[in-house]
Amino acid sequence: MILDSKIPSGPIEQKWDKHRAEVKLVNPANKRKYRILVVGSGLAGASAAASLAELGYNVDCFTFHDSPRRAHSIAAQGGINAAKNYQNDGDSIYRLFYDTVKGGDFRAREGNVYRLAQVSTNIIDQCVAQGVPFAREYGGYLSNRSFGGAQVSRTFYAKGQTGQQLLLGAYSALSRQIGAGTVTMHTRSEMMELVVVDGHAKGIVTRDLVSGKIESWAGDAVILATGGYSNVFYLSTNAMACNVTSIWRAHKKGAGLANPCFTQIHPTSIPQHGEYQSKLTLMSESLRNDGRVWVPKSANEKRAPHEIPEQDRDYYLERKYPSFGNLSPRDIASRAAKEVCDEGRGVGPGGRGVYLDFSAAIHRLGEKTIAERYGNLFEMYERITGENPYKVPMRIYPAPHYTMGGLWVDYNLMSTIPGLHVLGEANFSDHGANRLGASALMQGLADGYFVIPNTIGHYLASDTGNKVGTDHPEFKKAEAEVQARLHTFLSIKGKRTTTSFHRELGMLMWNNCGMARSEASLQQALSRIPEIREEFWNNLNVLGSGLEMNIALEQAGRVADFLEFAELMCWDALERDESCGGHFRTEHQTEDGEAKRNDQDFCHSAVWEYTGTDSKPIRHKEELTFENIKLATRSYK
């Protein structure tokens, strides 16, 4: 596997301009000869599909949802970062770049991250022009707030629904192109297989989720923008249908998968309340701007929170990280919560929770101001828990939320399969071992609006292999494989449901490859996963047929892929014998329990090559060099 990152030479602030000046272009008349398949319609997919169609390409866009507007980007609450420095508080492109590289614990490529910071400002402009109703000050200018991991206010937001508004912006741009006939939208259509012909990505096979029809689609390039794999943990803040299938299928066809063990556990989710629970609900990180996190000092505390006096409370984030306090980065805040709960000081049922207390902010600013800032989040909390956070501190606990790992891509966002491009959370590129808050929206839109429209032409104008149609034998072969797989699910006729397998896998991953990992826990998971997988293929119960809407059948395919992918995640976590960012190996910690990096041996991205379901994958390395930021121990103290 050749890993050429194609980072342009020269000073970092000139790389992107230089690259854009040097890449090959497709002339306007020729663009309409190309067909691009975009899988996914979230921020990255919708923005890419719309922008490419505006350029003149023919675009087919696929989503398993009933409408592109339902992609899970819609659930992002807090905001989107941009280096505008509207607040005159010392922000700059360099500082956003620096914060992102440092926040990612020095496991991301400098060149990509710098470009992300550069285009961040264009994103805000584009979204404003589309009519995204960002929050504004009384003078009519855009408002900002601060977010975890940064000491400047660079986060743009639309109440607590920033993801929704940005997605609806991208959806409106996409809808305009659908209306104009330049994008053909395929809803309720799930990608089942990638088709590679002579080494080039040439198409996909989909299943129509209503009719069950298996169909092939041929294109000149394929873009995957299918999000992350947090649902490998079963319980996560992701939507129910989020899955690993498209990137796993691509991986099995030869695309390198990078750093799968880099998963983000978000510190502020509503704690789990029961066995039957289907998902965890996030409370925006923005709450940490005004909420103070604490637990009782004593493990034997029995009093209600308002009866516990100040001297018996431990504001542990403020105590341990005085300069960042409650705004410490996510991985650090999550681990600190786990630590105090492991000490027996957790609150709520099962002792898996910490308080997020707004009483000081309400006292300082008044209930009205707090309601203006967080009203919808407070309401959501009350609906779910039945408790009023204006009166009683919220209870929060970390939950799987985002995955930094994903398909390896070069500077052009192309994977190791020529023609296969990967955008947004589905790729591995920008967040290293930990993502900062309000940076996911930024990356998804950067990739879709501003990077891929500039880079895909370079591939199309180079060697793309032969033009093929869906009558090519590779398509027929892929279709037959998909059919066979569906047939197998339906013919096992065992006793257990897909959900029960998913839950079992999720629990194993959370306990053994979650917030803290060790060699022993990972070895245990690696021996257990194949056993669960074997039982899955022998004792699964899926009813009905493949020729109708069949939700159990849809889930079976996704869970089958999680059962293979989980093993790779554990291999990655095991072989990355260091702690960094969200990857915390208990063997590697400093005296005060912080992640201890090993730059000597692990200053690289691990890129995995598939070798078969029951054989160990091959680990390749892309070395990371830091020319602009000095490799340093991350400190938020």
Paired tokens of 57: 């390409």
Is residue 518 classed exposed, middle or buried when 0-12, 13-18 and 19+ CB atoms within 10 A define those classes?
middle
Q: How far is the CB of 541 from other proteins (least distance, A)?
A: 6
Residue window 580-609: x/- pattern of binding to other proteins, with contact defined by CB under 8 A = ------------------------------
278 binds other proteins (CB under 8 A): yes
Among 499, 523, 538, 625, interactor with other proteins by CB under 8 A = 499
Among 1, 25, 277, 369, interactor with other proteins by CB under 8 A = 277
282 binds other proteins (CB under 8 A): yes
Paired tokens of 22: 């040097």
Q: Positive or negative, the Cα torsion across 263, 268, 274, 277?
A: negative
Cβ closest to other proteins, residue 108 vs residue 442: 442
85 binds other proteins (CB under 8 A): no
Is residue 138 classed exposed, middle or buried when 0-12, 13-18 and 19+ CB atoms within 10 A define those classes?
exposed
Closest C-alpha to 295, from 356, 349, 350:
356
- 536-555 residues in contact with other proteins (CB under 8 A) are 541, 543-544, 548-549, 551-552
Q: How far is the CB of 368 from other proteins (least distance, A)?
A: 15
Do 192 and 211 contact (CB within 8 A), yes or no? no
Residues designated catalytic? 330
Residue window 436-455: x/- pattern of binding to other proteins, with contact defined by CB under 8 A = -------------xx--x--
Cβ closest to other proteins, residue 314 vs residue 554: 554
CA distances from 356 to 190, 294, 314, 361, 557 (A): 39, 7, 12, 11, 39
Q: How far is the CB of 446 from other proteins (least distance, A)?
A: 11
Cα(388)–Cα(497) distance, integer angstroms: 37
Query: Candidates 165-173, 558-566, 609-617, 625-633 — which segment interacts with other proteins by CB under 8 A?
Result: 165-173
- 343-402 residues in contact with other proteins (CB under 8 A) are 379-380, 383-384, 386
51 binds other proteins (CB under 8 A): yes
DSSP letters, 565-604, are HHHHHHHHHHH--S-BTTB-BTTSB-TTS-B---HHHH-E
Q: How far is the CB of 330 from other proteins (least distance, A)?
A: 18
Paired tokens of 310: 């100040």
**Phi and psi dihedrals of 339, rounded to 5?**
-60, -50
- 114-153 residues in contact with other proteins (CB under 8 A) are 122, 124-131, 133-142
Half-sphere CA count of 103, side-chain side, radius 13 A:
28
Strand 354-357 vs strand 257-258: parallel, antiparallel, or unpaired? unpaired
Q: At what angle do helices 473-492 and 519-539 cross, to 10 degrees?
A: 80
Do 220 and 484 contact (CB within 8 A), yes or no? no
Among 36, 39, 44, 50, interactor with other proteins by CB under 8 A = 50
Residue window 211-230: x/- pattern of binding to other proteins, with contact defined by CB under 8 A = --------------------
Total chain residues near other proteins (CB under 8 A): 81
Q: How far is the CB of 399 from other proteins (least distance, A)?
A: 12
Cβ closest to other proteins, residue 321 vs residue 489: 489
Cβ closest to other proteins, residue 275 vs residue 307: 275
